[in-house]
Amino acid sequence: MIGIVDYGMGNLFSVSKALERLGAVSFISDDPKQLSKSSGIILPGVGSFKDAMGLLNEQKLTGFLQEYANRGGWLLGICLGMQLLFESSEENGNTKGLSLLPGDVIRFHGTDSEGASYKVPHMGWNQLAFRGESSILAGLKEDYVYFVHSYYVRTKDAEVVKASAKYDVDVPAVVGKGNVFGMQFHPEKSGDMGMSLLKNYLKLVEGRVWA
């Protein structure tokens, strides 16, 4: 059973409906005791990194998620939820994240190396470029997914990046290390590709493949 973390800043309904279409049983909760019974957890998110971490701390979910992941529980962060997996964000001042993956979250510059401006937030469909092999990408071909974000991850470990997308810079789009994964885009809004990625996560949770 998949637990979806409800801390007040996630697209809970769209994620749960996507899992339902894949035949997965899920529940939405803000209770660490209930979430601890999950075979895998999804941390969605939209909005401000600072506000999200404030709510996670307030609801005593920060320590729970860190402990859950550190003991081997499967964890998937989506959009802002992916950014929260990293060490810090510069959004609205420097804010400490869950520190489950190495790296920091920074804002798109809005101006490229030649001085031309580009649109922020990054919004729309971009093609993934795979970076080596990963079980979360097993059996898939590079395809388009849907992004909405103004900040991106600058990782300290290139091996964490499983797929990227080009938007002035190479944006980490799918990340993972061990039992912790993240998707910067919205898989539940990304058509067949997004559903296939969620299906691969479910396979990991169900123990049918290894990370």
Residues that are catalytic = 79, 186, 188
CA distance 66 to 153: 19
| Residues contacting 167, CB < 8 A, separation 6+ | 108, 118, 122, 126, 147, 152
Biggest CA–CA distance in the chain, Å, is 52
| Residues contacting 13, CB < 8 A, separation 6+ | none
Token pair listed for 172: 């980490």
CA distance 83 to 56: 14
CA distance 85 to 67: 13
Q: How many CB atoms lie within 10 A of CB 159?
A: 13
